[in-house]
């Protein structure tokens, strides 16, 4: 069954394109130490702001560092932040959404008011406010993004639980004396995986954008460690004559986000028949 769903998802041309993009970026990021022609942090005063060439595929920056090597290592940071942050957000969202949708009552009211409060604050500005009180580091960024991005998953899981709770198979299990834990983990949660999976895939794209924005502002990954965001920051100072410092990281962010969005849409069409029928 799972194999059929995977085949169905990848039969969607856009989903296949997204999958190939993400797989390619993951492979490149994993093999960065073996692919990178130079040390990403090595300074060469004789090679400052060289244009792209056979020697430096994406040119060099203001310190003579090879941009191609820094892009490869930056992919590792950006994807790691996205995946871990979304993992944290998804775990929190699933737990809170399940509690709200299953038990309802005052538990639902309290959780949903928390969601409303969090959604009333622009997420990026909330992250900026929290990061301002912490030491900028990759771990702090992942945790903060995760702790401020769980609201969408919570609402999706709650809606699924409220719908599934009234289904015949759940009511039959309750009649047979099934405990709450069994109902949640054996019946309700497995049938709620579609929106969780799709939301998680799309959430990685959002987390990559947030990390890039924080690094661009100097509040994310700190130099000399490379990320696409701080490579863009370096390019800001030389944008009039060193176009490659802004072009290549910008394209990398664009392609990565596009890949996750295409993959997420394809998975939604494959895993959710209602969505597929709506799009016909």
CATH number of domain containing 76: 1.10.3720.10
Output the pLDDT for position 276. Answer: 46
Return the pLDDT at 257: 92
Angle, in degrees to the nearest 10, between helices 123-131 and 193-216: 60
For residue 60, list its beta bridge partners. Answer: 66
Domain extent at residue 98: 2-279
pLDDT (0 to 100) of residue 65: 92
Structurally, the chain folds into a number of domains equal to 1
Return the ∠ at Cα 10 (arms to 8 and 14), rounded to 5°: 120
Summarize pLDDT for 74-110 with one digit per residue, the tens: 998 888 888 999 999 999 999 999 999 888 889 999 9
Segment 10-34 mean pLDDT: 87
pLDDT digits (tens, 9 = 90+) for 131-166: 777 777 788 888 888 988 899 999 999 988 888 877
Dist. CA 202–CA 18, nearest whole Å: 11
Interval 206-261: pLDDT, tens: 888 888 888 888 777 777 788 888 888 888 888 888 889 989 999 999 999 999 99
Average pLDDT of every residue of the chain: 84
């Amino acid at each position: 069954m799972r194999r059929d769903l995977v085949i169905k998802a990848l039969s969607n041309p856009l989903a296949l394109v997204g999958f190939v993009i993400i797989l390619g970026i993951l492979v490149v990021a994993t093999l960065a130490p073996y692919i990178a022609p130079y040390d990403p942090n090595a300074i060469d005063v004789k090679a400052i702001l060289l244009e792209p060439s056979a020697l430096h595929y994406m040119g060099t920056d203001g310190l003579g560092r090879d941009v191609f090597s820094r892009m490869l290592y930056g992919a590792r940071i950006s994807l790691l932040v996205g995946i871990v942050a979304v993992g944290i957000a998804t775990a929190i969202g699933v737990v809170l959404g399940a509690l709200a949708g299953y038990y309802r009552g005052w538990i639902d009211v309290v959780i949903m008011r928390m969601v409303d409060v969090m959604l009333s604050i622009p997420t990026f500005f909330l992250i900026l406010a929290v990061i301002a009180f912490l030491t900028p580091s990759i771990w702090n960024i992942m945790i903060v993004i995760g702790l401020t991005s769980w609201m969408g998953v919570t609402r999706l899981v709650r809606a699924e639980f409220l719908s599934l709770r009234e289904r015949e198979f759940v009511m039959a299990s309750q009649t047979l004396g099934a405990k709450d834990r069994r109902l949640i983990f054996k019946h309700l949660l497995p049938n709620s995986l579609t929106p969780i999976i799709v939301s998680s895939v799309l959430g990685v794209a959002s987390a990559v954008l947030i990390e890039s924005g924080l690094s661009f502002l100097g509040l994310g990954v700190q130099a000399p460690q490379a990320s696409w965001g701080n490579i863009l920051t370096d390019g800001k100072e030389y944008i009039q004559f060193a176009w490659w410092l802004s072009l290549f990281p910008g394209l990398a962010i664009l392609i990565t986000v596009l890949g996750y969005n295409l993959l997420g849409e394809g998975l939604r069409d494959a895993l959710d028949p209602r969505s597929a029928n709506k799009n016909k």
